[in-house]
Amino acid sequence: MSGTVVPRRVAGLVVALLLGAVPAAAQGPGVFEIFASRQQSPATPLLGGISLGSYHGAIGMRISGALNLTTAQDSNFLGARYGYDGGCRRPHCHDGLRSGGYRQDAMGMSPSIGAWSADLDLIFAPVRPVPALRALLLGFSPYAFAGIGGYGVRPANAADTSNATWSVGAGAHHELLGWLGVAAEARYRQPFSNDSGFTPTWRDKLQYRVGLTASFGGRRRSNEAPPMAAAVPNAPCGRAPCPADDAAAERLRDPRFAQRLLDFADGYVGVQYATGGSSPRTGFDAPGFVRFVFGEQGVRLPVSVNDMAAAGTEVSTRTWSLRPGDLLFFSNDQTSAIDHVAIYVGHERIIHSTASGGGVRYDTLGGGERGQWFADHLVSARRVITDAGSPNDSAPRGTDGAPRPEGTTR
């Protein structure tokens, strides 16, 4: 069989993986990754590949594929490294030229598949949906996985070593710019045909992988503002914040409400800043983002940042007094005039739509010049999750004067 022809059993395996993973990938936020992988032995080829994953909370599904493309000449050399006979057995080899101790022919530079891998993995990432825990781990999110797939080294003019495999492994992901990140993992791979489980030489079967990831989509992310948000200014309510209905009022009393709120807000990191904006389609300003996030959870807040600063219950701005979900208010001139609002995440981190940062992002109070600006200009904090009230419509305002993030220009 030619080195460029994938065996039928391999093709069937890849098709099965695609059919199994595509429905999962169509749901929830996704992660696209470009990666390089290699097994423990330095003699094994380096593979380059891509993967597509989809997550629902801490559970994810991922499909990956990687190839090592080589020439027929390199495949002969690869076969020698693996103990295969790399000699040419094609009838037209007598037309070739000898070079470096082996024979080349007219097809010597044609591309072929030197090695391949394909995997469908079920992933468990307990820290991924919890921004506060990721903050504790400095942005790292560990995960474990188990999967099925295949792996093969395919030297020219030699037996195909492709096998269907099962695998288990673990790794970690780290966010660099919100949507951009890096990942590294180790995988133990074993053929289904081998029923010995973990062998004494299990380290030789480890496959290491490093990659660059890009997140897309988001939790319940939409290009339009929710219908409830448009109805807020005219909604009757006693005092802000106001639950939209009995179900929303019940959610407010749930101790897990703050975490769900922050988990939802995290899905909009990277949305652009827009003055007066209140939807993902047009972008958000500071009060627009806060109002949208709370509104999607069924809680109405006032339109303007000044009215938000009167909602709920006042709490100390000392970090040990703050709870996740509290609203923090900032003044450019450190007076009572409120210019900006953010949602407190925990561990001195905030999530907000910031003019100086270009959109929805995280910042750390006191972290660097930018974080220090927010720490110095924090003037009040309000706890809104446990109160009920009504909105108060007025002109929006919410442009911060913080230094721009490093590496950005006006």
Residue 337 has pLDDT above 60, yes or no: yes
> Which amino acid would we find at residue 142?
P
- Dump pLDDT digits (tens) for 265-321: 999 999 999 999 999 989 999 999 999 999 988 888 988 888 899 888 999 998 888
- Give the tokens for residue 319: 């970090």
Kindly state whether residues 188 and 153 are assigned to the same domain.
Answer: yes
- Please count the structural domains in the chain: 2
Nearest Cα to Cα of residue 278 among 118, 391, 124: 391
Tokens 């706890």 map to which residue?
A: 383
Query: Are 202 and 255 in a shared domain?
Result: no
The answer to whether residue 329 scores a pLDDT higher than 70 is: yes
| DSSP assignment letter at 273 | B
In a domain, 123, yes or no: yes
The predicted-structure confidence for 56-85, as pLDDT tens digits, reads as follows: 878 999 999 999 987 655 545 444 444 434
**240 and 211 share a domain?**
no
Q: Based on the domain organization, do 178 and 235 belong to the same domain?
A: no
d(CA 254, CA 248): 10
Say whether both 38 and 186 belong to one domain. yes
- Chain segment 200-250, per-residue pLDDT in tens: 666 778 899 999 998 876 544 444 333 333 333 333 444 455 655 555 555
**CA–CA separation, 335 vs 377, rounded Å?**
9
* Domain-located, residue 22: yes
Vertex 374 angle, CA 372 and 379, to 5°: 125
Q: Which one of 163, 196, 216 terminates a domain?
A: 216
Q: What is the mean pLDDT of the chain?
A: 74
Residues 257 and 174 both lie in one domain: no
Residues 6 or more apart whose Cβ sits within 8 Å of residue 85: 79, 157, 158
Q: 145 and 164 in one domain? A: yes
Which residues constitute the domain of residue 323?
Answer: 227-383
Where residue 148 falls among pLDDT bands split at 50, 70, 90? very high
Q: Is residue 399 included in any domain, yes or no?
A: no
Torsion of CA 56, 57, 58, 60, to 10 degrees: 10
For residue 348, give every residue at least 6 positions away whose Cβ sits within 8 Å of its Cβ, in sequence order, or none: 319, 364, 365, 366, 367
13 and 137 assigned to the same domain: yes
CATH, residue 153: 2.40.160.20
Range in 38-52, 151-165, 351-365 the model is least confident about:
151-165
Q: What percentage of the chain reaches a pLDDT higher than 90?
A: 33
Neighbouring C-alpha atoms within 13 Å toward the C-beta of 59: 4
Q: Please return the burial class of 2, using the count of CB atoms within 10 Å of its CB with bins 0-12, 13-18 and 19+.
A: exposed
Q: What is the pLDDT of residue 94?
A: 42
134 or 353: whose pLDDT is higher?
Answer: 353
Which CATH number belongs to the domain containing residue 375 in this structure? 3.90.1720.10
Indicate yes or no: pTM above 0.75: no
CB within 8 A of 397, min separation 6: which ones? 287, 304, 305, 306, 338, 339
Report d(CA 301, CA 228) in Å as an integer.
11
Domain boundary among 197, 216, 235: 216
Reading the block at residue 398, the tokens are 């919410």
Within-domain flag for 74: yes
